[in-house]
Structure 1
């Protein structure tokens, strides 16, 4: 079973951690199943950017990005070339290293 290493995030995962995720599971589902409560304002329907992650290792093993995800990512805070919406990125057989950006578009709107 692939391992997802989550780099430290002050709110969601202060120490960082590693979790196991079955192939075919979205990164978002894997995080939520392991009590890492990443924001997902649209309930994983690819309608927002709150579940944005940066895939530091294993990016090429993920499913291809669809146009809807590409368009939404343009609005994500801290966008990088290896950014994905975690609700749309599905784990394959390779281990991953991900970083959850410090802020989301919701944080900016709510003045967190």
Structure 2
């Protein structure tokens, strides 16, 4: 089974995390199932950018991004060439190194 290593993120996983996952699982589902609370305002339906991650290693082993995902990624904060929506990126057979961006744009969450 492939392994996902999440780099430390101040709020979501301060010490980082390493999890074993099944091939074909989305990065977001794998994270949530293992107690890593990635934001996912659209409930994993590819309708927002809150689960945006940067794949530092293993990018080419993921399923190819759809046109819809690529259109949404254009709106993500801190977009990089290796950016993906965690709800859409299905894990292949290679290990992944994931960075969770410092900020996310969540228009559905009210914190005031």
- Measured against the shorter chain, the TM-score band is over 0.9
Counterpart position of 1:6: 6
Q: Following TM superposition, by how much is the alpha carbon of 1:110 offset from its aligned partner in structure 2, in angstroms? A: 6.0
The structure where helix makes up a greater share of residues is 1
Counterpart position of 1:23: 23
2-side partners of 1:26 and 1:43: how far apart? 13
Counterpart position of 1:89: 89
2:71 match: secondary structure? helix
Listed one character per residue, the Cα deviations across residues 86-106 of structure 1 (whole Å, up to 9, x for unaligned) are 000001110000000011012
The residue correspondences of 1:1-112 to structure 2 (distance < 5 A) are 1-106=1-106
2-side partners of 1:82 and 1:93: how far apart? 18
2:106 match: secondary structure? helix
What is the TM-score when the length of structure 2 is the normalising length?
Answer: 0.95
Q: Following TM superposition, by how much is the alpha carbon of 1:111 offset from its aligned partner in structure 2, in angstroms? A: 7.7
Question: Which blocks of at least 5 consecutive residues in structure 2 are unaligned?
Answer: none
What is the TM-score when the length of structure 1 is the normalising length?
Answer: 0.95
Question: Which blocks of at least 5 consecutive residues in structure 1 are unaligned?
Answer: none
